[in-house]
Structure 1
Amino acid sequence: MPIAGTRARSVVGFLIFCELASGFTQGFYPPLLKDFAIHLGVTDADITWFLTVQTLAAAVCVPLLSKLGDIFGHRRLLRIAIVSVLVGTLITALVPSYPVVLAGRVLVGPLAVWLPLEIALVHNRITGDQARKAIGFLVTFLTGGAILGTFAAGGISLISPDITITMLAPVVLVLVSAYAVFFKVPESSSRTATRIDYLGFAGIAVFMIAALIGLRNAGTAGFLAPSTLVLLGVAVVVFALWVVWELRSAAPAVDVRLVVSRRVGPIYLAALCFGMVMFGAQAPISTFLGSRTEVEGYGFSASAGVISLVIGSITILATVGAAIFSFLAARIGIRTVLLSGAVLSAVGNFLVLPLHGSLAGYLVAAVVQGLGYGLLLGALPARLAELAPADSTGIATGVYNSLRTLGGSLAGAIFAAMLGAALVPGTTHSSIGGYIAIWTFCGAAFVVCFLALLFLPRGDSAADAPETAAAAAH
């Protein structure tokens, strides 16, 4: 039953705070990794697993918890996910043992399923343009929270007498989110009447873990390293067997036919391409900006502050784009917004090719990129929620999130290989040709994204989408 008026705004407001807390938590830890490594007495190489473990845990739990939300209730699973994150952040802050901290990071993994479950709650209770606006605000506060968390980490660490106290900051926001979800957010009404495909979910977990670890290894050891080939080979074999199983299952974990259908397939392909650039290109941005012209022959000798300014500018503009997409969709249609986002993203990445010689030119390209990313950040999950069957919104958006993560890992490995292939003999840096290849790849990824989105259904009515999606599922 849709909620109207003040109650709807109140519910969305509480969910928006949850996404602010989610973004804050995600943005808070990376700037503190060096200090935390010293606190725990581990090496720089060891501390990289602090983020990797959470990514792997998210890859496993997002599809499962999203589907369980469709079956047992999205608020119920959101409560479980929030309690898990709360315990994980407490362990991270209070237990000075790295193995135990890594176990806590596993418990933080369900942070990635908050947004899919919240989108399902919104779309189950609010219809039409209001649902689009609500989803836009969720994404806006997620990215805004990440920015806030990044700056807060630096500010709190300066005034905090102890790293343990500093690390308690995310706990406060997660605790308030738990109160909101336990006492202020109503349960969704739609349910998927089905049994749980345990083998299907196990297949997803094995595939994602093998693929992500394999791609991480490819970024350091190379794609042809025996360990990389074994892991990626396992991922390919498991994925193939999983697809066969899902196609034959009466109640699959993921409806493969729907995923590759013209109705939602273009969104999933766009999500993969988007994730490759949005999450995979951050390291090349940093290394290029920090390169020294007198040594490498390119770059701006940028300090960490300048690099943060550029990356932060992209993120801030992405936040703006996510905030305004629903207003644009109401005037020009959400399909046009999606296509515009893909075009701006492609143009922004291709602009780096002629403008990379000056920092001002690079910033111009970053502005265009950020606006394009923001339109896609907001419009892709919103349109997916409209087109997916009403009783499968959770798993639909969960798969979307997983594909973005997988795309980022894939691109990270590809970009590392590109820079490795362009390594200047006798040095530790790559030639400018490696970066040109990366920028070309990123622009081409958004061209593919644009072409995929051309195949989306032309109907732009947010009110009609759930009915057409339900009809298509039968």
Structure 2
Amino acid sequence: MYELKGFFMAAPNPNGVLVALATTVFGYSLMQTVVVPALGLLTRELGTTRTWSAWILSAFLLSSAVLTPLLGRLGDLYGKRRVMIGVLVAYAIGMAGAALAQDIGQLIAARVVQGSALAVVPLSMAILRETLARERLPFAMGLVSGIVGAGAGAGLVVGGLLADHLSWRYLFVLGALLALTSLLMVSRWVPESRHRATGRLDLPGAALLGSSLVAVLLGLTQGPAWGWTSVRVLGLFALGALLLAALLAVERARSDALVDVGELADRPMLATHLAALLFGAGSYFFYLAMPLFAQQRGGVGFGASITVAGLLMLPGMLAIIPAGMAIGRMSAALGPRWPLAGGFLLFVAGSALLAFGHTAEWQHLVFYAVIGAGSGLVMGSLPKLIADIVPLTRTGTANGINNIARTVGGVIGSQLAAALIASSTSGSAAGVPDSAFTTLFWLGAAAAVIGVAISPLAVRRTPVLA
């Protein structure tokens, strides 16, 4: 890739780097969920079925899972700024393609291209670690991590507003504008990498990792439609396991492996990835349950609009940012293990409160704000813990795999929630019963309880300094 001089080659500015990366991550996280409120509208206007419209989300998810660790590794090898610029260009093209899509096939293809944008999160963490002074790093990582969650919540509100009042195409016009803005800011303020990994791109490892993730995630996303015990779903899970075994065998023999098997077997790293998976699963119980409860009419629910349903979750999403920014001070005062454990404890408390009481709007606003504060601590802790575990030259790759663990957890959580909701309404026209929502909130609490238990295992007693 070429680099423009002058405006695009300003001297490194730590504040500018942080603003550029925060804006980039916000643009990605907003567009991650902005289509959720519009799925019904897209199904009608594109003349398709619910099965095909579900692929608007699934295609994005699968593409993210396959591309993120590969792009993170490319950043470690060839420069994080360079790879991030390429990702943002592809993201803008994918958004433009979606805005111009004439049928569901074109829209799904555009979403596949957009899936590359998840890589901006691990790339941002790697750039922050390389660019900022060590004392500023926990604050910056907490801020950027918090924006991931807050942007996802804002996407539900923005998506509802645009779906209620404008064409669905404006969802992707907004995404294209955000991508172009991020591209200009990254080109202006983010310096090129000073530390790069050695070796070559591990294409066999990338192919095996991507194939195994596709098999497992496809089985999870299609499980409710095909049946969890169907030959196709069980076959996909078996294929995923075989490909994963082949991946581990191949990676053990490589010195420049995409997946460092020894690193994965390391207890702190394994616990960190498991914490990300549990957090992803727990979060999606609420992403599905709370908007559904708010919009349901008759029986339980508020009969709210799409916009109001999103607004009821907004305090929780806003609480993520200040909680993530507090990681540095908490770690200095209480030690490195407490922010992650404390975040999961707050998640447990908010989940339990919602399980006991969720029939009033104020309960959604207040109790989900507690969950949001816990989410901010968890999301801010994970990249900080990874920075203490891996050397500088593997930061992008390790954060990419951690984001994939959270993505897989999100798929598990969303599919468990969908299966529970479907089974609770089987043969009934009365809507989803209150008992199903209560169960989902308790499942969120259960995932967080396990997170509390494993949090002490995720801490490296002697942090890696280089």
Q: Which moved more, 1:194-203 or 1:423-432?
A: 423-432
- Quote the Cα distance in structure 2 between the aligned partners of 1:37 and 1:442: 29
Provide TM-score, normalisation by structure 1: 0.87
1:138 Cα offset (Å): 1.7
The residue correspondences of 1:7-26 to structure 2 (distance < 5 A) are 7-26=13-32
2:236 maps to which of 231, 243, 246: 231
Partner of 2:99: 93
Q: Is the 8 A contact 1:200 1:253 kept in 2?
A: yes
1:194 maps to which of 195, 199, 214: 199
Q: Is the 8 A contact 2:160 2:306 kept in 1?
A: no
- Quote the Cα distance in structure 2 between the aligned partners of 1:436 and 1:149: 25
- Quote the Cα distance in structure 2 between the aligned partners of 1:445 and 1:142: 20
Q: Which moved more, 1:41-50 or 1:73-82?
A: 41-50
> For the structure 1 residues 155 and 441, does the alpha-carbon distance in structure 2 shift closer, same or farther, using more than 3 Å as the test?
closer
- Quote the Cα distance in structure 1 between the aligned partners of 2:365 and 2:156: 20
Partner of 1:443: 445
- Quote the Cα distance in structure 2 between the aligned partners of 1:158 and 1:432: 27
- Quote the Cα distance in structure 2 between the aligned partners of 1:374 and 1:55: 22
Partner of 2:312: 310
Provide TM-score, normalisation by structure 2: 0.88
1:335 maps to which of 329, 337, 354: 337
Q: 1:317-355 CA distances to partner (integer Å, 9 max, x unpaired)?
A: 223322333343343333211111011111221223322
2:367 maps to which of 343, 347, 365: 365
Q: Is the 8 A contact 1:54 1:109 kept in 2?
A: yes
Partner of 2:245: 240
1:39 Cα offset (Å): 4.5
The count of residues paired between Structure 1 and Structure 2 equals: 456
- Quote the Cα distance in structure 1 between the aligned partners of 2:46 and 2:258: 39
Partner of 1:350: 352
Partner of 1:178: 183
Partner of 1:453: 455
1:422 Cα offset (Å): 4.7
> For the structure 1 residues 356 and 190, does the alpha-carbon distance in structure 2 shift closer, same or farther, using more than 3 Å as the test?
same
> For the structure 1 residues 407 and 194, does the alpha-carbon distance in structure 2 shift closer, same or farther, using more than 3 Å as the test?
same
1:62 Cα offset (Å): 0.3
Q: 1:418-471 CA distances to partner (integer Å, 9 max, x unpaired)?
A: 445555665575655444443332212111111111123365xxxx7332xx5x
- Quote the Cα distance in structure 1 between the aligned partners of 2:119 and 2:358: 37
- Quote the Cα distance in structure 2 between the aligned partners of 1:311 and 1:158: 18
Partner of 2:288: 283
1:222 Cα offset (Å): 3.3
Secondary structure, counterpart of 2:458 in structure 1? coil
The answer to whether residue 28 in structure 2 is matched with residue 30 in structure 1 is no
Q: 1:202-224 CA distances to partner (integer Å, 9 max, x unpaired)?
A: 11111111111111112334321
Compute the RMSD of aligned alpha carbons. 2.8
- For 1:465, the aligned partner's letter is P
Partner of 1:79: 85
> For the structure 1 residues 427 and 229, does the alpha-carbon distance in structure 2 shift closer, same or farther, using more than 3 Å as the test?
farther
2:220 maps to which of 208, 212, 215: 215
1:299 Cα offset (Å): 4.5
Q: Is the 8 A contact 2:251 2:261 kept in 1?
A: yes
1:81 Cα offset (Å): 0.8
Unaligned runs of 5+ in 2: 1-10
- For 1:393, the aligned partner's letter is T
- For 2:449, the aligned partner's letter is V
Q: Is the 8 A contact 1:16 1:138 kept in 2?
A: yes
Q: Which moved more, 1:205-214 or 1:260-269?
A: 260-269
> For the structure 1 residues 375 and 146, does the alpha-carbon distance in structure 2 shift closer, same or farther, using more than 3 Å as the test?
same
Q: Which moved more, 1:392-401 or 1:300-309?
A: 300-309
Question: Percent identity over the alignment?
Answer: 25
Q: Is the 8 A contact 2:216 2:240 kept in 1?
A: yes
Unaligned runs of 5+ in 1: none
> For the structure 1 residues 289 and 222, does the alpha-carbon distance in structure 2 shift closer, same or farther, using more than 3 Å as the test?
farther
Secondary structure, counterpart of 1:168 in structure 2? helix
1:358 Cα offset (Å): 4.6
Q: Is the 8 A contact 2:279 2:451 kept in 1?
A: yes
> For the structure 1 residues 150 and 422, does the alpha-carbon distance in structure 2 shift closer, same or farther, using more than 3 Å as the test?
closer
